[in-house]
Each structure stands twice: as C-alpha cells, then as structure tokens.
Homo-oligomer: A and B are copies of this chain.
Amino acid sequence: MPNLRLALCQIDPWVGDLARNSEEVLRWSKRAAESGVDLIAFPEMVLTGYPVEDLAFRGSFVEGSRAALVDLAAKLQAEGLGDVPVVVGYLGRGEPGSRYAGRPQNCAAVLRGGEVVTRFAKHFLPNYGVFDEYRYFVPGDQLTVLRLHGVDVALAICEDIWQEGGRVAATGQAGAGLLLSLNGSPYERDKDDVRLELVRRRAAEAGCPLVYLNMVGAQDELVFDGETLIVTEDGELLARGPQFAEALLVVDLDLPAANEDGLPDGTVLADGLKLTRVDLGGAPKERPAQPIEPQVSERLDDEAEVYAALVEGTRAYVRKNGARSVLIGLSGGIDSALVAAIAVDAIGAENVYGVSMPSRYSSQHSRDDAAELARRTGLHFRTVSIAPMFDAYMGATELTGLAEENLQSRLRGTLLMAISNQEGQLVLAPGNKSELAVGYSTLYGDSVGAYGPIKDVYKSLVFKLARWRNAAAEARGEVPPIPENTISKPPSAELRPDQKDTDSLPDYDLLDAVLTRYVEGDEGRDAIVAAGFPAEVVDRVVRLVDTAEYKRRQYPPGPKVSPKNFGRDRRLPITNRWRQG
C-alpha cells in the first residue's frame, strides 16, 4: 500500500481577518513542511473564519476572500512550499456558467505550485441549530478526488458527512483511498461521542479511512473544540487531536493504491455529484522506515471539557474584540466566582478586575467571600458601595418591592459600565442558564456586559464546575480559586433582607430537570407532568420560561454548551401567547 504523510492543521481563524488568517495558513504550512509531508490541510473556511454570516452578502468580502486565496497560493510558492498541495477552506462563488453562477459558496481549494489547482463547494448545507447555510450559500455539485502519490483522496466539507448519501456515498462509488473532510464543527457537550460514531459509520460507508479535521477556538457564541479524528473503514481510531488547543497533527497513512481503471472524470455519482479528478502526480511512496507515530490525545472528562470550552470561549471573545482585560462584579456568590475563575484561567489574573458593590442588604459573608476569592486568585479587587446612589434614587422616586430590588442591580450595572468606560475593561456578565431560562435576573442590572461565560450552563452544573475547578487545583497542589463558603451557602440575590433564590424558584436540581425537558427537549407541559414532575412546578416553570424571552434576547452572548443555547439555537417570538404546552 502506498503511504501518504498528512499534516492536519487544527487552527483558530478569526472571522473577517483575511490577512491574519492567510499569514496563519502560511506559518502552519511552514511548520508542517518541516516534517516532509505530502499534503497539508486546514479547516472549513479557514481563510475567512467561520461563520461569516451576512459578510457572505458583501461582494467586496467575497472578492477579498477569492483574492486572498490566489495571493496565498503565490506566497506558499514564494516561501518554497509550492511542491506540497495545501487544502484550505474559503468563501467563494458559483462558477460562471454554472446553475448558481456568482452566488456565495462555502468552498475549499487545493493550492500548489503557486496556483489554485482546483476548487469545490460544500454539497450539503446545514440549516438547523446554529447553522443558517441555506440563507448564505448555494451547494456544490461535484466530488473532487485528488490523485497524489498513487492514492485517490476524496474531499468533503463538514455537513457533507453529517447527512446520508452525498459525498460519502460518492467516495465509495469512486473507490477513493481516503476521504478528507474539512470542518468547522461547533462544540456541544457530549458531541465528541456523536462525532466519533458518525465518523466511524461514514468511513465504513465510504469504504476507506476518513480524516475529520476540525477547527478550534471560538467565534461569538460558537466554540470549536478541535479533536480532529482519523478513523479507518473498520472503525479503528488512528489519531485524535487535542481538545480546545491549536495543533499540528502529522501522520503516516498506508492507503489503498488508486485504481487506474476507476470511474472516469465526469461520471455522475450519488446525489448527482460529478466526479472531478485532479491528478497531482507523484510516485507512490513506501511507508517510511521511521513513521511518525500518530497522536491520540486523551479526551477530557465531562466537567473538564465544559470548563475548557468556557475558558476558550472567553479567551477568544476577549482577544478577538481587542480587549486586554475584563471586569466582573463580585457578589460573593457562586456564579460570579466561577466566572472570575474562568476569566483568570483564560487571560491571567493580572488582566482580571473584580469589584464588590455592597448595598445595605449585602451580608458580611458575601463581602468576605468576594475578597477571599480575589485573594486566592490574585485578581485586582476593589470595593465601591452603592449606598449613596441608592439613596439618591430613593429620594427622588417612590420605589418599593421588585422596583427597589431591581434598582440595586441596575446601580451595580451602571457602576460596572462606568468603570469599564473609564478604564477599558470588557465587562463579563455572571448569569447562568437556569436564571436566564426563567427570567430570574435584572435587565440592565446583573445582565450588563459584553460576554456571559456561563450563560449556557445550568445552575446545577455551575456547582459541579466550581467543585471540579477547586479539586483540579488541589490535585496540582494549587490553592483552589473558589472559597468553600461560596459553594456551600444557599444561593441568594441579596436584594432584600434574608432573600433566598428558593423564595422565588424551585430547588435548582428540580428546576434544571424540568428546564432540560422543556428547553433542550422541546417537551410539552403534559409530557413533563406525565414523566412524574409536580404539575404546579411544571406550570410555573413553563410560564416563566415563556415570558422571559425578551430578557434572554437582551443577554450578552456566551459559549454554547448545550443543545439549545439561548442565542443562535433557539428563536422564539417575544410576544408569544402559547402557554398551554
């Protein structure tokens, strides 16, 4: 069997930054070439970043992407890398004369010898969950097969392998020796299991090994977890990239020799895909005497994985928005403490600013816990009382009850924004998904900020992550960042005397169980009651969730963790009178 040495570049492109992304492709290609590789590959739309959303409609951006591609081919050549084919994703257009001439496409191209050797577009366009690709792109209609050193390598882009048939079936028909898929597949809890099973099934269907090269990093609400995979047609896992880290995977693969009598160029395959053969030449290679051992990274445990996604999402959002530091209101409670721990892990304690903003209802233990968190993590800490501002409002207006409670929260939001405007930090919002689901937060109060690191994390998971983070510190002989009292005390907003979250909400374990069914599972009220949950709790939760859509829309973005995050995934009318289901 001929051998190919592949370089899979699991990297983090920045949406819209064509110059930076081109430089990164060049830099990683140079690194890869040092290992004498035969083919270098990058993720889906690496030149533009993913997702580009409405930038796809700006003609000058599409042209910018196409020009950057041509320019990149020339630069690779100029840097002495012209001999190695490089596969990169970019934003292109339907070919002139084709059915979809000129319309935006999610494309990939093979660069070699200073030229764009071949181009193709994604065939299946996802339009569910976080994806809206029918809105932006038109589909491609070919199966590109590269012949390289005597091996046929079929190419695909992401959704192409998530749907039945299409390029996977066509790869089998074409008798290719390898299927290489470029992906921009967003993180979701437990999705890695789904992906591995999918890749195994598709490799078997294609009848050849499958390379699943994924993006890493984060863009707004989407986190890309990497974990590039190589799986044989028998389901054997040959290689796995790390999660949440850029990586160069170099691997020697023995692959079936190309069939010289295979189907000819132009053959119409499954789903009407036209076989497009591209001969890159090169004699078949023997397996090297000293093959590079494939990397098979260990997977993170569930909590470690979620925590890493939150850290990566926060790091990327802060950096990609050009901020250096963040500001967090520290109440002494578990939400803001976990957000602070995440921020410290993402950008370093020296770039994290905390402010305690006590009111007359703040307990001494809350102030102490906030200060203790600061001491343990080393973040910058200050205390500013909101009492004078509160008194000024109460002197000018007649406020009682919820209006008085919300006022305190908004005074803190205004203070955070004032400090942020004066000093330049990006404000992080501490809300968790359980609160957001039921609207247990204050618009323009605790919801203030540019990013919400735990907005897609249910409260019961917040507790687990806090304990996990402390235990991880202890296992490394470090000081656990979160004070034990912050974790063990009953949650309270402290906006009136002796307030507890349980005054307004069911116990969080019960609440989260109902929310998981209603929000993630789209189960109706009757089905949830039939599953054994108390009807009065279900009715209350359903009513709260249905009426909190406006608050959720106003919440800052945050890393997607669950199947239905309150951002790209879930789109409800605000004025929605459906309360019976």
How far is the CB of A424 from the nearest CB of chain B, in Å? 10
Is A286 an interface residue when CB atoms closer than 8 A count as contact? no
A527 contacts across to B, CB distance below 8 A? 60
Q: Please state if A578 and B61 are interface contacts (CB–CB under 8 Å).
A: yes
Q: Please state if A522 and B59 are interface contacts (CB–CB under 8 Å).
A: yes
A134 contacts across to B, CB distance below 8 A? 127, 134-135
A220 contacts across to B, CB distance below 8 A? 573-575
How far is the CB of A361 from the nearest CB of chain B, in Å? 17
- How many chain copies does the complex carry? 2
A132-B135, A418-B393, A444-B448 known; A570+B54 contact, CB < 8 A: yes
Is A421 an interface residue when CB atoms closer than 8 A count as contact? yes
Is A17 an interface residue when CB atoms closer than 8 A count as contact? yes
Interface segment, A344-352, A405-413, A504-512? A405-413
A61 contacts across to B, CB distance below 8 A? 524, 578, 581
Is A525 an interface residue when CB atoms closer than 8 A count as contact? yes
Q: Please state if A575 and B421 are interface contacts (CB–CB under 8 Å).
A: no
The contact size tier of chain A is: 35 or more
List A101-157 residues whose CB lies under 8 Å from chain B: 127-128, 132, 134-135
A417 contacts across to B, CB distance below 8 A? 406, 410, 443-444
Is A480 an interface residue when CB atoms closer than 8 A count as contact? no
Q: 1/0 per position for A402-444, CB-CB distance to B under 8 A? A: 1100110011011101110110000000000000000000011
- Whole-angstrom distance between the alpha carbons of A90 and B54 in the complex? 31
Q: Which residue of B lies closest to A526 (CB)?
A: B60
How far is the CB of A234 from the nearest CB of chain B, in Å? 34
List A16-34 residues whose CB lies under 8 Å from chain B: 16-18, 20
How far is the CB of A107 from the nearest CB of chain B, in Å? 17
Q: Which residue of B lies closest to A318 (CB)?
A: B575
- Whole-angstrom distance between the alpha carbons of A17 and B14 in the complex? 43
Q: Please state if A406 and B421 are interface contacts (CB–CB under 8 Å).
A: yes
Interface segment, A197-205, A303-311, A382-390? A382-390
Cross-interface CB contact of A399 among B422, B554, B573, cutoff 8 Å? B422
Q: Please state if B422 and A418 are interface contacts (CB–CB under 8 Å).
A: no
Cross-interface CB contact of A414 among B52, B407, B450, B574, cutoff 8 Å? B407
Is A98 an interface residue when CB atoms closer than 8 A count as contact? no
Is A364 an interface residue when CB atoms closer than 8 A count as contact? no
How far is the CB of A207 from the nearest CB of chain B, in Å? 28
Q: Which residue of B lies closest to A357 (CB)?
A: B396
Q: Please state if B320 and A575 are interface contacts (CB–CB under 8 Å).
A: yes
Q: Please state if A422 and B403 are interface contacts (CB–CB under 8 Å).
A: yes
- Whole-angstrom distance between the alpha carbons of A410 and B527 in the complex? 44
Q: Please state if B396 and A422 are interface contacts (CB–CB under 8 Å).
A: no
Q: Please state if B384 and A388 are interface contacts (CB–CB under 8 Å).
A: no
Q: Which residue of B lies closest to A390 (CB)?
A: B392
Q: Which residue of B lies closest to A62 (CB)?
A: B581
Q: Please state if A15 and B576 are interface contacts (CB–CB under 8 Å).
A: yes
A398 contacts across to B, CB distance below 8 A? 422
- Whole-angstrom distance between the alpha carbons of A526 and B60 in the complex? 9
- Whole-angstrom distance between the alpha carbons of A525 and B578 in the complex? 45
- Whole-angstrom distance between the alpha carbons of A571 and B392 in the complex? 40
A476 contacts across to B, CB distance below 8 A? none
Cross-interface CB contact of A384 among B55, B396, B400, cutoff 8 Å? B396
A556 contacts across to B, CB distance below 8 A? 554
Q: Please state if A573 and B127 are interface contacts (CB–CB under 8 Å).
A: no
- Whole-angstrom distance between the alpha carbons of A522 and B395 in the complex? 50
A89 contacts across to B, CB distance below 8 A? none
Q: Please state if B399 and A388 are interface contacts (CB–CB under 8 Å).
A: no
Q: Which residue of B lies closest to A574 (CB)?
A: B220
- Whole-angstrom distance between the alpha carbons of A524 and B58 in the complex? 7
Q: Please state if A581 and B60 are interface contacts (CB–CB under 8 Å).
A: yes
A49 contacts across to B, CB distance below 8 A? 573
Q: Please state if A64 and B571 are interface contacts (CB–CB under 8 Å).
A: no
Question: Which residue, of A399, A421, A554, has the highest number of chain B Cβ atoms within 10 A?
Answer: A421
Cross-interface CB contact of A16 among B389, B407, B576, cutoff 8 Å? B576
How far is the CB of A409 from the nearest CB of chain B, in Å? 10
- Whole-angstrom distance between the alpha carbons of A480 and B132 in the complex? 46
Q: Please state if A414 and B410 are interface contacts (CB–CB under 8 Å).
A: yes
Is A290 an interface residue when CB atoms closer than 8 A count as contact? no
How far is the CB of A386 from the nearest CB of chain B, in Å? 8
- Whole-angstrom distance between the alpha carbons of A392 and B391 in the complex? 9
22 contacts between A and B (CB under 8 A): A15-B573, A15-B575, A15-B576, A16-B577, A54-B571, A55-B573, A55-B578, A59-B522, A59-B524, A61-B524, A134-B134, A220-B573, A388-B395, A393-B414, A393-B415, A406-B418, A407-B414, A413-B444, A444-B448, A450-B550, A553-B557, A554-B554
User: Which residues of A approach B to under 8 Å, CB–CB?
Assistant: 14-18, 20, 49, 51-55, 57-61, 64, 127-128, 132, 134-135, 219-220, 316-317, 320-321, 384-385, 388-389, 391-393, 395-400, 402-403, 406-407, 410-411, 413-415, 417-419, 421-422, 443-444, 448, 450, 522, 524-527, 550, 553-554, 556-557, 570-581
Besides the known contacts A53-B573, A60-B525, A403-B418, 7 further A-B residue pairs in the complex with CB atoms under 8 A apart: A14-B577, A16-B578, A55-B572, A59-B522, A316-B575, A317-B575, A400-B422
